[in-house]
Structure 1
Amino acid sequence: MAVEIIMPKMGMGMEEGTVVEWLKQKGDSVKKGESVVSISSDKIEKELEAPEEGVLIDIEADVDDVVPIGQPLGYIGAPGEAVSSPAASAPAPEKKQEDQVVEVPEVASDPEPLKGEEPRLRVSPAARRLAKIKNVDLATVTGTGPMGRITKADVAAAQVKKAQQPAEAAKSAPTPVPVSSLSNGTAKKVTGMRKVISDRMFNSLQTTAQLTLQTTVDVTELIAFQKKAREAYQINDEVRLTITDFIAKAAINALLEHKAMNSIYEGDTITTFDTVHLGVAVALDEGLVVPVIKDADKKSLSAVSREIRKASKQARGSELNKLQLSGSTFTITSLGTYGVGFFTPVINPPEVGILGVGTISEQPVYVGDELKKRSLMPLSLTFDHRAVDGAPAAAFLATVKQNLEAPFKLVL
């Protein structure tokens, strides 16, 4: 009997997941425990393993489909086996409402009510979603799936047929030329991590009063201090003491002194924290994640370095859970490795501030009356003006600068 590949629940707040990629195709043989399909939810991506050995006999959800938890993504069974219909199988425990097959009454040609039970259509979740998007009446679609079940392909075919029927009102209207037909391009639906980032950043700019302050830090002494510190930790693979580690520690210490920046703004309430939970943005090929260093103010420079290094490694291996990606009170983000100087980072709601770090460059600077070559680093602080005024935000940024220009303070 065919075994279902189910959309799992990967977090307490998860209600649905997105199919990212099928690693096996219909008809392929699979071994138990072998990765079959890649899925994502919120900012977590995971590969699902085959629950049994056999053949991937059916795929219910295509790439980019959004599927509720508990719904089947596909089926594994014996070669040539058909997917059993629920009606033919033995009675099973009552399923949740979202797990049940959606049934739509057929439209009867006779205006008088029918006697007995009205015939019903069987519709797959993917077909139902596509029909809703394309405004296709499911009662007009012929199902080609098991037991006459309407599949996504059936709805797509019906939509094409509907589009080929010319409307009288459209005959006299000029036909616009789609932009996509003017050049060769690849269209991709916004889903998964990209969709989450898109929604959060749009919401951030729409619901907050963001203002960015900028300053330049002389990190000549910091670079020299960092080199000496790294030599002291050269035998420790977990502690590398990067410039990012020092920036994080400088921000943590400044947040303890300027607590207004260590706040969140929700509804009509501003909550200020005594403890710093620092978010450190990590860039991935598919987007950006922000692992959180909890209770960062209680950790030494080397401990902060160790946690940042560990979180970055887990992020790139898609090993972070939702708890590790939530609860931050302030965030730092860097574009220094891309040669970017000043920029305007976007606040990660409900936080009220984010510190952007640019690339370090060597420039001639007057030190007293003498012109010297110094290493300068740009900082960009974006803050929510609803929660923090310009003066306290500027004072916070000045303290970060002072901490970085006197790096020995960061190890005390």
Structure 2
Amino acid sequence: MPTEIYLVKVGMTMHEGTVEEWYVADGERVEAGAMLYRLETEKVNLDVDAEASGIVRHLAAEGDTLEPGDVVGFIYADGETIPDVLPRPKPKRDIAVVGEEPASPRPVQAKPAASGARVAASPAARRLARERGVSLEGVAGSGPGGRIVEGDVPAAPPAPEPPKRIAASPAARKLAAELNVDLATVDGSGPRGRVTREDVQAAAEAPAPAQPSAGTATRMSAMRRTIAERMHSSLRDTAQLTIDMEVDVTDLVKLRGNLIDEWAEDGVRVTYTDLVIVAAARALIRHPKMNACLSDDAITSYDYAHVGVAVALDEGLIVPVIRDAHEKPLREVARESADLASRARAGSLGLGDLTGGTFTVTSLGMFGVDTFTPILNPPQAGILGVGRIYDGVKWHDGTPVRTPMLRLSLTWDHRVLDGAPAAEFLAAVREYLEQPYRLLV
């Protein structure tokens, strides 16, 4: 019996995954432990290894999206008969959950292949290279061990094309130059497609072609599909309400400036988001109704604050988690949040970095946004939005004073708590930010 190749399950919340790339072509041999295919999920990408040695047959094509436990192919042992028509086995829904770290996406410079040597490249990369007429020699591969994958091919130098000679009569060429007609766009009616003077005249008098409608359809990635489904279900299945609160950040701005200078030698640069994370984490411990989630008919409150921090990527949004943020010094939170954001953009976060959050902080202040309406990250009961710092006005003894201000936007699930405890929590966050030296204790 052949060894079945399954779409592995990465985390308990994974509902689907995409076979992004086969590292072993259909019909080629693989050794046990070698990388077999690359899996794309809503959270992480993962290289899946072969569990046996033998000939690989694909049941799923690159780009196919399936459920965990679906069979994507087979490995036939030496001497085993390979049928012309592959069977369609039942999926294995009780497949074990894996949590391996994803492979590093940073490109590795490919070593020049010796004369006659085979360049290490995926089947999809070779197919695309043939279609585009490019050479893979010298191309920097971003796959494991410098292997060239499909996404590397567009960067390869295209093979030069010989200039194409257009068959046209001298009279046609002269008229085309006078009328500014590109001979390459003219269909010739003369012998062997030769362009005549009449062809050029007809092309010049023809109406301009209609402009194609704008817009390009792009297939949604697994991450984008998951974000779409979760945002829709969040708004559909929860009772969301948002309130705003203005914060005087005069002392916060001064403190951050001092800390940037003080911690510069250690390479730690604290951000306003870091300060909000610590303030929110400590406020969550004081207000456990906000530090909760709703599951079925039970509300679970937590005595720890695992704060998720939204990080924007080109392909979507990802929320790594700072665990026990209420207990950690501000300096450690700043260092950890920078590391998580860097690894998120590099695609090297592990499953443990993305699970277990009890609350989320998201910021659009760097884009000049004053206030917005964050959408809950289920099953969490709250999410805090951070706007930009702007020049506000406060009155002191009847005199207007220009004051740096910040707006916080809190969205909470009204099924879990009411407006009064939500406002009390937000006021506690403001209290920490207006007395920021308490965040250092």
Map of 1:164 onto structure 2? none
Partner of 1:46, secondary structure, is strand
| Equivalence map 1:148-227=2 (5 Å) | 183-227=213-257
Q: 1:317 to 1:32 in 2, by over 3 A?
A: farther
Query: What is the letter of the counterpart of residue 19 of structure 2?
Result: V
Map of 2:352 onto structure 1? 323
Partner of 2:217, secondary structure, is coil
| Equivalence map 1:294-305=2 (5 Å) | 294-305=323-334
CA contact (8 A) 2:277 2:325 kept: no
| Equivalence map 1:360-375=2 (5 Å) | 360-375=389-404
Map of 1:235 onto structure 2? 265
Partner of 2:401, secondary structure, is strand
Map of 2:414 onto structure 1? 385
- Aligned partners of 2:344 and 2:374: how far apart in 1? 20
Q: 1:405 to 1:26 in 2, by over 3 A?
A: same
Map of 1:45 onto structure 2? 45
- Aligned partners of 2:322 and 2:233: how far apart in 1? 24
- Aligned partners of 2:408 and 2:8: how far apart in 1? 42
CA contact (8 A) 1:22 1:63 kept: no
Q: 1:14 to 1:354 in 2, by over 3 A?
A: closer
| Equivalence map 1:9-48=2 (5 Å) | 9-12=9-12, 14=14, 16-20=16-20, 38-47=38-47
Structure 1 stretches of 5 or more lacking a match? 77-82, 90-94, 100-180
- Aligned partners of 2:35 and 2:396: how far apart in 1? 60
Map of 2:66 onto structure 1? 66
Q: 1:407 to 1:182 in 2, by over 3 A?
A: same
Partner of 1:357, secondary structure, is strand
Give the % identical residues. 40
The question of 1:260 aligning with 2:289 is answered: yes
Instruction: Please provide the CA RMSD for this pair.
Output: 4.0
Q: 1:56 to 1:397 in 2, by over 3 A?
A: same
Q: 1:182 to 1:211 in 2, by over 3 A?
A: farther
- Aligned partners of 1:49 and 1:386: how far apart in 2? 44
Query: What is the letter of the counterpart of residue 66 of structure 1?
Result: L
* Alignment TM-score, normalising by the size of structure 1: 0.66
Structure 2 stretches of 5 or more lacking a match? 93-210
The question of 1:98 aligning with 2:91 is answered: yes
Q: 1:212 to 1:14 in 2, by over 3 A?
A: closer
- Aligned partners of 2:317 and 2:238: how far apart in 1? 21
Give the deviation of 1:379 after TM superposition. Answer: 0.8
Deviations, residues 5-25 of structure 1 (Å, cap 9, x unaligned): 864443355464213467999
Give the deviation of 1:186 after TM superposition. Answer: 2.5
Give the deviation of 1:26 after TM superposition. Answer: 8.4
The question of 1:405 aligning with 2:434 is answered: yes
Bigger shift: residues 58-67 or 352-361:
58-67
CA contact (8 A) 1:7 1:73 kept: no
Q: 1:58 to 1:377 in 2, by over 3 A?
A: same
Q: 1:326 to 1:56 in 2, by over 3 A?
A: same
Give the deviation of 1:279 after TM superposition. Answer: 1.2
- Aligned partners of 1:341 and 1:349: how far apart in 2? 25
Deviations, residues 108-128 of structure 1 (Å, cap 9, x unaligned): xxxxxxxxxxxxxxxxxxxxx
Q: 1:255 to 1:23 in 2, by over 3 A?
A: same
